[in-house]
Amino acid sequence: QIISGFTPESLSNMLKELGLCDDLTLTKSQLEECVSGVNIERMSNHPMKFDYEDVEKIYRSFMNVQ
């Protein structure tokens, strides 16, 4: 399911066109580190409520996790 609005391929293509980093690969441990680094409490003013599972789904929607 595409949550971020990008597939890994479309985001990678856009980054290549902009001349930016295009390696969208994370290991499972890197993904866990990224997800745990999000402060859910600071997102409490966002109209949608997020939990860590939602954050992981967002990352997985545009990153290649290996």
Q: How many angstroms separate the CA atoms of 37 and 10, rounded?
A: 25
Residues ≥6 apart with Cβ < 8 Å to 56: 31, 35
Quote the pLDDT of residue 30: 94
Tokens of 22: 């295009």
Quote the pLDDT of residue 8: 75
Quote the pLDDT of residue 9: 80
Angle at 50 between CA 45 and CA 37, to 5 degrees: 95
Quote the pLDDT of residue 3: 60
Q: Could you list the mean pLDDT of each consecutive 10-residue stretch along the chain, which spans 66 residues? A: 70 85 85 94 87 91 84
Quote the pLDDT of residue 4: 66
